[in-house]
Amino acid sequence: MSHPDFDTHLSRLFAAARAQTHATETLVLLHIGDEQTGVAVGQGAEPAARLTLAIGAESTAREHFRHSPLSPLELENAIMTVEDEVTRALPLMTTGAELVTSDAAIREIALLSGVTAGQRMELSLEAMERCFDRLAQRSLGRPISSDNLPTSTSFAASLLILREFMHHLRFEAITVLQTDTQETQ
């Protein structure tokens, strides 16, 4: 169950994203919070539907990740939990919708995936999968020093949630929008 403040925050993020997009197609806003993940969907300035998923960067990390780097079993168990929760959003999805976010964690993932910093960054599913593969390789024993991925478990959880969301809900890309509180890097 979501908290009213989280729903209000999600609606504000959606309205800000809509103001930064010129298209009139359906927007799907993804917001990975610490304790929960929000999805807002709609064609207007306000979302037509919102859904709160019981997965977040900190809560998923706390529930599944005991080691740094993660163990393969920890990663696999987290994948199962996250994909089960993410698929709850399937009924809200429409063909041709644009997936957007203004999350700093997803912006960091985009930058680590080779996307050039800017006001509007597009992270492809393929580039995000390559980033996730680096995390998976680390869990299999690849030295941390061979990669520039953050070692925090909350980063790993955010990357996992993004991956499962894009994969299971069939998004080929996510647009990362600049917010007033972020600086262009």
Residue 185: inside a domain: no
pLDDT (tens digit, 9 = 90+) per residue, 156-178?
999 999 999 999 999 999 999 98
Residue 56 within any structural domain of the chain = yes
CA neighbor of 119 nearest in space, from 37, 41, 47, 22: 22
Point out the residues of the chain with pLDDT beneath 50: 1, 181-185
Contact yes or no for 43/25 (Cβ under 8 A): yes
Residue 182 lies in a domain: no
Q: Would you say residue 184 lies in a domain?
A: no
The total number of structural domains in the chain stands at 1
Q: For the range 33-37, what are the long-range contacts, defined as Cβ-Cβ under 8 Å and sequence gap of 24 or more?
A: 33/6, 33/57, 34/58, 34/59, 34/154, 35/59, 36/2, 36/6, 37/85, 37/161, 37/165
The answer as to whether 183 is a domain residue is no
Domain around 67: 4-177
Q: What is the pLDDT of residue 183?
A: 41
CA-CA distance, 22 to 100, in Å (whole number)? 13
In a domain, 82, yes or no: yes
Assign residue 107 the CATH number of its domain.
3.30.420.150
pLDDT value for 2: 53
